[in-house]
Structure 1
Amino acid sequence: MRRRSFLQTAGLLGVASTVNIQNPEPIIIATWKNEAGTKAGYDKILQTGKALDGVEAGAWVPEANPEETTVGYGGYPDRDGHVTLDACIMDHLGNAGSVTFLEGIMHPISVARAIMEKTPHVMLSGEGALQFALAQGFKQQDLLTEKSRKAWEEWKKVAKYEPKVNIERHDTIGLLALGKAGEIAGACSTSGMAFKMHGRVGDSPIIGGAVFCDDEVGGACATGLGEFVMKTLGSFLIVEFMRQGMTPQQACEAAIMRIVKRYKYQEFQVGYLAINKKGDVGAYSIQKGFSYTITKNGKTQVIESASYM
């Protein structure tokens, strides 16, 4: 048995060595049209070599963009007028950090990373998450922009909660990257569904829902109506499909079909993005209109995903 274990371990090390040789160049991908985010993440990987640094830096861009109404600063508030943020991050070793229902901190992705690296926990929420962030030196500020406030005031005239498909062709940002050593990391950040119930948390801070990484296989991330991603743990499911031999594209399609068959398709959108250790990428969504951005070899491209509908 000891000999068998040795041979299995040696085989895995051999696979890892092959992957590193095949992928000397970093790769970063992100949901939707996020050229600035993937470029920033790619540049960060070139600087530090680490995939984890890349996905964090990539998330910083939309988190700080006041025109991005679905992520961070400028995100649409809940029905009570509060901008509440969710985020998670995961590295190649299986370490993970997550924050939910956080108010007043522009970069929840970095709070999630601090939770991962500086606490024994995976997830902090609400007031406790804010206390931790402030103790770590994060600055508190008002994230409700005038544009988002006006949208909220207009919404209150009817006050109808109605998730929008492909709202302005962007949504939650999910990122996956391969670093210089071929290691994988993933991240996700969002302000959640516009005008949601106060306290609602979607899939974005859920490890295995929004993001999942396994350095033996690859990683996946999600966007769209989080309730359905949570109910099927879509990102974890995709990684397990890849472990069974599926390509990233086949795995994304199979995960979407799990939702379609189980929940008898309704008017909502879910999109998945995946990458394996070879650098192969897959993307698939329920409805048309989902796109993703990839930066590799110094070049950035936005690609329209295939879809079920």
Structure 2
Amino acid sequence: MDRRNFVKTSAVGVAAAAAPSTISAAKTSPSHSPSAPSLRLRSTRPVCVADVSSIRYKNGGPESAIERAYRGITEGEDVLDAIVAGVNIPELDPDERGIGFGGLPNADGVVQLDSCLMHGPNRWAGGVAGIEGVKTPSLVAKAVAELTDHHLIVGEGAANFARQLGFEIEDDLNTDRSRELWVEWKRRIDPGHWLDPEERLSGRSQTGGETDPDMIRRRRGNGSGWLRDRDHEARLELFQDASLAAGLSMVDDGLIDADSFWGTTSLEAVNPGGDICGVTTTSGLSWKIPGRAGDSPILGAGQYVDNSVGAAGSTGRGEANLYNCASFLIVENMRRGLSPKDAGMSALERIRQNTVEGRLLNQRGLPNFDVRFFILNKAGEYAGVALYGSNESMFAVCDENGAREEALEGLLEGSPRD
């Protein structure tokens, strides 16, 4: 057996061996009250909740991430093994541009990935941030949790750690399409230097005169370059961020899916025995400053699990989750007796209250970004909530009734850009 297979096999073996003994110890420990809810549950309704990437992308195979995870859980697979195997599907799918292989790159055109996960019954956790060259950062995060005393390894150190364990390190995780989108973003933020050959030829006569205003768009104020987005100044005034304004114009033009622009997959699950695990994986905010890490690799922000209570995972503006430790807050809210929905809404209200900078507010004085949470408790009750809810804002669920999309419930009406 080669080193790579040995490491992966042993890591799974450690998890499988540890979980039953941990559960058994919990059931017989005299320090636990006989009436403790986590011990009195005879059977839990198994369920998985996740973002929509977990149901919409199959990488050419028969199952989505949430379907693979649910099947593994109901067949007796360790919960963490099942959900990581699930998110590996969209991580490897080049058409999903918010995570893994082909994820949208940073401002330098480099794909940097983040992931974290938590194993509820074992009280294990692991994460990686800013890792380059590994298509499945969730597997590296799993190795951190299972094989080390650490919870987070970052940057070049994370890549070296993966290399030592036999993970294949790619020179570049861009696809042709993700690189094309990065070049298009560069054209929109710096039109004086990054040009479109077809637009140059179509928008000028052979003598160099302007011919087609709709093709040319309009001149920049300083006379250099051509604007591809008529509404650039309006977006810039609203968001005070040229990078974000350009990226959202690409969403509006149908070049990037809105969910992929904010980019993250988070999947939480509970098995019939009441054991809970969660995993989050992402390529991060599109066109981010190189080295930026959002909430996804951080325990308590983009992901949190307490096996006696429940789990919460998130997508959306990572900085909002980091500031508010939102996933941890949701689980603590459930510990106090709140339902998954109410626990999530309380955290969203905290985010709303703490968003006070003008650059982060829309014309109504509300957050100009969205945050979504996927939540479940030990009994198998679940919720999907967001700052803004609409019929087009969905999340994924898989239970005894199969895999499906359900509408997110919003704290606020309208959209972030109203």
Fold agreement, TM-score > 0.5: yes
Q: Report 1:23-102 matches (<5 A).
A: 23=44, 26-35=46-55, 36-92=64-120, 93-102=122-131
For residues 7 and 194 of structure 1, the distance between their equivalents in structure 2, rounded to whole angstroms, comes to: 48
Q: How far off its partner does 1:298 sit?
A: 5.8
The DSSP-based 3-state class of the residue aligned with 2:388 is: coil
List alignment gaps of at least 5 residues for structure 2: 1-28, 56-63, 190-241, 357-365, 414-418
- Equivalent position to 1:152, from 182, 185, 198: 182
Q: How far off its partner does 1:7 sit?
A: 7.8
Superposed CA RMSD: 1.9
Q: Conserved in 1, the CA contact under 8 Å of 2:72 and 2:82?
A: yes
Give % identity.
Answer: 33
Q: Conserved in 2, the CA contact under 8 Å of 1:50 and 1:180?
A: no
2:113 partner amino acid? L
The C-alpha deviation readout for 1:228-264, integer Å capped at 9, x for no partner, is: 0100011000000000010000001000000111214
- What is the aligned length? 301
> 1:267 maps to what in 2?
368
Q: Conserved in 2, the CA contact under 8 Å of 1:99 and 1:112?
A: yes
Q: Report 1:159-308 matches (<5 A).
A: 159=189, 160-162=242-244, 164=248, 167-170=257-260, 171-264=263-356, 265-288=366-389, 289-297=392-400, 299-307=402-410, 308=412
Q: 1:134 to 1:179 in 2, by over 3 A?
A: same
Segment of structure 1 superposing worse, 89-98 or 108-117: 89-98
- Equivalent position to 1:16, from 38, 42, 50: 38
For residues 17 and 96 of structure 1, the distance between their equivalents in structure 2, rounded to whole angstroms, comes to: 22
Q: Conserved in 2, the CA contact under 8 Å of 1:76 and 1:152?
A: yes
1:31 partner amino acid? D
For residues 113 and 31 of structure 2, the distance between their equivalents in structure 1, rounded to whole angstroms, comes to: 46
For residues 141 and 75 of structure 2, the distance between their equivalents in structure 1, rounded to whole angstroms, comes to: 22
The C-alpha deviation readout for 1:129-188, integer Å capped at 9, x for no partner, is: 001101111111231000000000011113331064894345311110112422000000
Q: Conserved in 1, the CA contact under 8 Å of 2:53 and 2:96?
A: no
The DSSP-based 3-state class of the residue aligned with 2:187 is: coil
Higher relative contact order (CA 8 A, sep 6+): 1
TM-score (norm 1): 0.92
2:115 partner amino acid? A
- Equivalent position to 2:169, from 116, 140, 143: 140
List alignment gaps of at least 5 residues for structure 1: none
